[in-house]
Amino acid sequence: MTILEKAPAKINLSLNVLSKRDDDYHDVEMIMTSIDLADRIELERLQDDRIEISLESRYVPNDERNLAYKAAKAFKTKYGITEGVHITIDKNIPVSAGLGGGSSDAAAVLRGLNKLWSKDIPLNELAELGSSIGADVAYCVYGKTAIARGFGEKIEKLSSPPPCWIILAKPDIGVSSRTIFSQINIEELFHPDTAAILEALEDKNFSKLCNHIGNSLEPITFAMHPEVQHIKEAMTHAGAAGVLMSGSGPTVYGLVEQQSKATRIYNGMRGFCEEVYLVRLIG
């Protein structure tokens, strides 16, 4: 028996860091939505009690450091599964990009193993298990559009954004979330207007959404990697209605209503960096 799961990337419409916690995590408020750039996960049963991962990426480990491996191990431990699983990951989402690729892979493994081993576990329980693996995994279990609070484990579903095109541009660098979060000084942070973004989603108001998207981490990543700021400036200059860095970076996205304009900006951004994508929302 083989189970196939899609693992969609996400973008942050907002990322608001509220405070530092005693456990070294930060309390955050993040509005995220899924996009139709996705990894593909294939799960096959093994008789032996082991976890195998196959993938063709020199940037992603295929052992216990992989979040998909951690997800399978956590699932097997919690539900007492003594069979093994072979996980094949077809990577399409850029690595260390602020698009939640590893977290989405882990979430897809949790959903897929639920089917593979016929456990019928509700999504909220899978999300709770996911939050022990990584901060974005709980959100990725649900996908679509949601706000995540706490360190990312408290999820509330939201109205989807108005239909639009998204241009993604990722410079040829990887950014470590841990490094960026370690540089945070709460007193100096910019805080996006979460309430205004929620209203824009509820009203399906594209221009209001574009005017209020925001990310507390942008200045920190920009200071460490000026090329990310240059990409944001180039995409804004090219005419994208709303432009923001996703997650801790380095990917920058632009929101555009018209396909012809989105295609023009996409073609223009390819002069700035190699990894540029034109995608739609699925959230």
CA–CA gap between residue 173 and residue 245 (Å, rounded)? 14
Q: What is the largest CA-CA distance in the chain?
A: 56
Q: For the chain, where are the alpha helices, taking DSSP H only?
A: 67-79, 101-116, 123-130, 137-142, 177-182, 194-203, 206-212, 218-224, 226-238, 259-269
Q: What is the rounded CA–CA span in Å between residue 162 and residue 46?
A: 43
For the chain, how big is the Rg over CA atoms in Å? Answer: 19
Q: Which residue has the tokens 């530092």?
A: 20
**Chain centre distance of CA 125:** 20
Give the DSSP H or E segment for 88. strand 84-90
Dist CA 87 CA 62 (whole Å): 10
Annotated catalytic residues are 10, 136
Intra-chain end-to-end CA distance of the chain, in Å: 29
Q: How far apart are CA 213 and CA 16, in angstroms?
A: 10
Q: Count of CB atoms within 10 A of residue 1's CB? A: 9
- Which distant-in-sequence residues (6+ apart) come within 8 Å of 139 by Cβ? 10, 30, 32, 100, 103, 127, 146, 148, 152, 155
